[in-house]
Structure formats: structure tokens, C-alpha cells
Amino acid sequence: MKTMEEVLQDWEAVIGLEVHCELTKLETKMFCGCKLEFGAEPNTHTCPVCLGLPGALPVPNRAAIQSIVLAGLATNCDIEKHTMFYRKGYMYPDMAKNFQTTQGPKAFCMRGHLDLSVDGRGAQERLFWSDLAEGEQSENMTRTADGYVAHVGITRIHMEEDAGKMVHIGGGEGRIAGATHSLVDYNRAGTPLIELVTEPDLRTPEEARLFMQKLRQIFLTLGISDCSMEEGSLRADGNVSLRRRGAKEFGTKTELKNINSFKNLHDGLAYEICRQAEVLEEGGQIYQETRHWDPSKKRTIVMRVKETADDYRMFPDPDLAPYDLTDEFIESVRAKLPELPDERAARYERDFGLTPYDARHLVEHRFTVEFFEAACAAAGDRARELAKPLANLALNDITAYVNAGEGIDFASTPFTPERGVALVSLLAEDAISSKQAKEVFAAVLDEDKDPAAIVEERGMKQVSDTGAIEAVIDEVLAANPDKVEQYKGGKTGLIGFFVGQCMKAMKGQGNPKLINELLASKLNV
């Protein structure tokens, strides 16, 4: 198979996502008073409504409607005031009602959008953006200083309910194949779920991954879900098709179901792009089908051929009255909107003078936001002055540390925000070099001591005493008269040699900036 890079020279990928998010922060289910609890004893949170017993009547959960309206406002959707619930035919033992309650053509939230900033290595997956001038637009993307912004349309966000869970006994790895019997747990049946559907506006697996990540950050900020991809409270279906570069018509899409990590979303789509290109280039045909991405085998396999909308026999639910959301209700929800990641990034630029790049990467993760905010608070009057090195610390050292130890909660490590401020202050005062700062960072985590104590104990103080440095420089120059001659004759690359000799003489503790400056002034007279 060709690599994705090769494929994308000739083909353009078209990607749309369907993202399901369980509203785990709610107390009760969508249409009954049963408690929402992950991991409870099977079938302990059930009632006639979520078991679909005849005659039981559903009552919508007001808090769930508030959550979906919040999600819609945060993603620039129009809130649809007149909408209703539909029944979607569904015949499987994990849903005792034999239908799923969902929404029809008009969902609570319609016609939204999000802007995605793509930069660095991830931007390389999209071709041709670098031909544009900064600020220039082509299709749905605008060139920025260090990449591009992709404008991604959101078709709708609708409300629905989750099914229960089947456990198959006796087969391999819990699968139904070979099982002797199956158990069903209805605790999850009726869990409020929102589904967000994007327009087919994404063009690379990286954009799909970033979209998911941005959406997760927004939902977490809204506090509507714990958005755990491992536990399945946030999952995505990735739809992808190919068309020849320059073509307008979309190709036939396939759908990757129930993707449960950012990496799987990226890698599954990348594989599917390569697979489709191979089929098409050999003169074959893509069938509209649902496929499963197997990360261990690194391939996708067919799950089922697509059913059409008619198969679902959707019709308005006669047990649930149509909705008439009032302006007061919508405004009361709007008043609850917290500061969203994009607004937070804008504030970091404005209040702390951060670059757009630093600001937007800081808000991508909760741990970097938490650290940066707490450290700026701890820095007090010096927050603006220290913001840049604090952002660097969060984006480089802290991010590397957190990524190395999976799932680590940085806030509970000995590296407190106060210690972060102390560390960047030492750096700002030239008391230690940036190389030494990395050592101190690791030592704080290891030994649970203040940066100043570590610097003291290890005798790391960077020498910034001009007199002391000059004395060393004089010695080094006196010991290497031939090299000094060569330097003055034009071999200016020797500056590195002189700096190295000075550093060696000072056991690595000389301030490299000062050494460079003083050396230059002594050599250039």
C-alpha cells in the first residue's frame, strides 16, 4: 500500500465526524429518575420507563436539555426552539423498548461551527496551504503565521439515549461468536447522550484528531461530561471518502465506528484513506459500509453494509410533547457559559503578552491550563514578566513529563505552581542556565524540594559575575594564541571552541550569554 503522504498527492480526503458524548455529570437518566452511575451492580438502576414496560411514560430531563443547549451555544449553533423527539426502530436486547428515543430533522442545536488551528507537524498532512500568503483563504482554510485555521461546520447536535450493555459468556474476549449465553445490564439504558455531527469539512486525519480534542476540551470546560474515551463516555465515528484532487463531487464514504482514542481516530482514518486509494486505483469500487479499526492488526474490517434511513422507521414519539424552548430558558443557559478555551487563549495573549502559538497550545490540555493559571496567580505582580517562561515550562518540560507517564495527575506531584515560579525566576535572573533549569525541574519532582534548595545543594549557581568570567576568558585566550590568530583572520566559527573552553574551566556554571558577549567584545577589538 502507498503511504498516506503519497496518496494525498493525487487524492483529497473528505472526513466528517459523528461524536457521541454521554452527559455523565447529570444525576439521573434522560426520561426517568433512575440514578446515573458508572460501574454499579448490574440492573440496580432500572425502572418501568427505562425497561420499556407497557404503559410507563417518559418525562424529559430538564438538566439534560440545559446541557445540550450549553453545548450548542459553545459551538456557535443556532438553538432550535421548536423541536421534538422521535422514535427510531431498534431491535436488540440491550434496549428493552425496541426503539431509541432520539431527535428528527430538527435537533436542539443546528448550524454551528468551530475553527481549528493547525500548526507544526500536524499541518504537514494538508497540502498546499504553505502556498498561500498569511491571512489568505482557500476553500475552508485560512493561512496563519505558522500553519492554517480550518473552519469546520457543525450540522447539528441532537439529544438521544444510550442503550444498555450486553455481556457475552463463553466466547473469546467477550465476543458473541462462540458464546454459550449472554447477560444484559440495563443500568446504562436511557443515559442522556448528545450526538454532534460535523459537515464533511475535515481534510486530514490530524484535523479530525484536533477537532475531537478541541470538542473534548470544550465539553470538559462546560462540565457536562467527564469525556472519558477509555470508559466510552466520549466516542466518535469517522466517515471518510476520497476524491481526485480538483474534483467537486464527493466519493462514497465508509464509516469507522466507535473509535475510543485520539490516536485510533487518526490512525484508523489514515489507514482507511490508504485502503480506499488502493481499491480505487485498481479500478475497484468503495461500498458504503461500516468498518471496524483494529489497532493491533493495523487494518479495518467490514462490520456491516449501510442501512438506509428508511430502515429505522422514524416517527414522532407520541408520548413526548413537542418542545417550545423559551427565550428566557435559552438566555438563562447562556448566562451559565464559562470562559471557553478560545476565549481563554485570547485572554492569555492580551493579559500576559503570550504569542498566539503558546496561548492556543496552553489551552489544549487541562493540566497545562491549571498549572499556568495557578503559577500566574502565585507570581502576583510578576505574572506578565514571567508568563513566557512559565508557558515554556508548561508546554515543554511539564508536557513531556505528563506524556511520559500515562494518565499522570500533574497537580498532585511535588512540582507546585509556586515552585514553578521559583524555577523560572532563577532562570530570569540568570542564576541558572536553561540546561540547569531542566535538571532542577527533574530534581524537584524526584526529591520534593524547592528549586533554590536544589541549586544550593548541587552548587549549581550560574556564575554571572563579569569579573570572574573575564578572568577565565583571559586565561583561555592566553592558552590558545594560535586559535586567537585564526579567529582574527576570519575563522569566526572558533567562537564555539572558546565558549566551550570557558565553560569547561567554569565546570559548566558560567552564564553562556555573558561568556558569549564578553568573548565577542574581547576578540573583536
Cβ atoms of residues 208 and 17 within 8 Å:
yes
3-class secondary-structure state, position 19: strand
Beta-bridge partner residues of 87: 101, 315
Cβ contacts of residue 39 below 8 Å, gap of 6+?
Answer: none
Q: Which does 34 bind (CB under 5 to 8 A by kind): Zn ion, ligand ADP, none?
A: Zn ion
State the virtual CA torsion across 309, 310, 316, 318 in degrees, nearest 10.
-130
Q: Counting beta carbons within 10 angstroms of the beta carbon of residue 322, is it exposed (0 to 12), middle (13 to 18) or buried (19 or more)?
A: exposed
Which cell goes with 377? 496567580
Sequence-ordered list of residues with C-beta below 8 angstroms from that of 315, at least 6 positions apart, any chain: 86, 87
Report the nearest approach of ligand ADP to the CB of residue 238 (Å): 9
Residue 293 Cβ vs ligand ADP, minimum distance, rounded to whole Å: 16
Phi, psi at 506, each rounded to 5°: -100, 15
Binding at 32: pick from Zn ion, ligand ADP, none (beta carbon under 5-8 Å per type): Zn ion
Start-to-end C-alpha separation, the chain: 62
Q: How far is the CB of 78 from ligand ADP (least distance, A)?
A: 18
Applying the rule CB under 5 A, the residues between 316 and 375 that interact with Zn ion are none
> Could you say which of ligand ADP, Zn ion, none residue 203 binds, taking C-beta under 5 to 8 angstroms by partner kind?
none
Q: Counting contacts by CB under 6 A, is residue 239 touching ligand ADP?
A: yes
Q: Would you say 122 or 251 has its CB closer to ligand ADP? A: 251
* Near Zn ion by CB under 5 A: residue from 28, 42, 47, 258: 47
Q: Does 140 bind ligand ADP (CB under 6 A)?
A: no
**352 half-sphere exposure, CB direction, 13 A CA radius:** 26
Candidates 6, 89, 183, 250; binder of ligand ADP (CB under 6 A) is: 250
**Is residue 92 within the footprint of ligand ADP (CB under 6 A)?**
no
Q: Which of Zn ion, ligand ADP, none is residue 17 near (CB under 5 to 8 Å by kind)?
A: ligand ADP
Q: Which residues are CB-contacts of 482 (< 8 A; sequence separation ≥ 6)?
A: none
CA atoms of 521 and 525, how far apart (whole Å)? 7
Sheet holding 99-103, edge to edge: 99-103, 85-89, 315-316
Question: What DSSP state is assigned to residue 305?
Answer: E
Binding mask 8-47 for ligand ADP (x = CB under 6 A): ------xxxxx-----------------------------
Choose, by CB under 6 A, the member of 66, 67, 144, 198 that binds ligand ADP: 198
- Smallest distance, Å, CB 256 to Zn ion? 32
Identified binder of ligand ADP from the candidate list 188, 253, 361, 419, rule CB under 6 A: 253
Give yes or no for residue 268 binding ligand ADP (CB under 6 A): no
CB of 23 vs ligand ADP, minimal distance in Å: 21
- Specify whether the CB–CB gap between 337 and 74 falls below 8 A: yes
| Cβ-based nearer residue to ligand ADP, 234 or 426 | 234
Least distance between ligand ADP and beta carbon 140 (Å): 13
Give which of Zn ion, ligand ADP, none residue 122 binds (C-beta under 5 to 8 Å, depending on kind): none
Binding site for ligand ADP (CB under 6 A): 14-18, 197-200, 239-241, 250, 253
What residue ranges bind Zn ion (CB under 5 A)? 32, 34, 47, 49-50
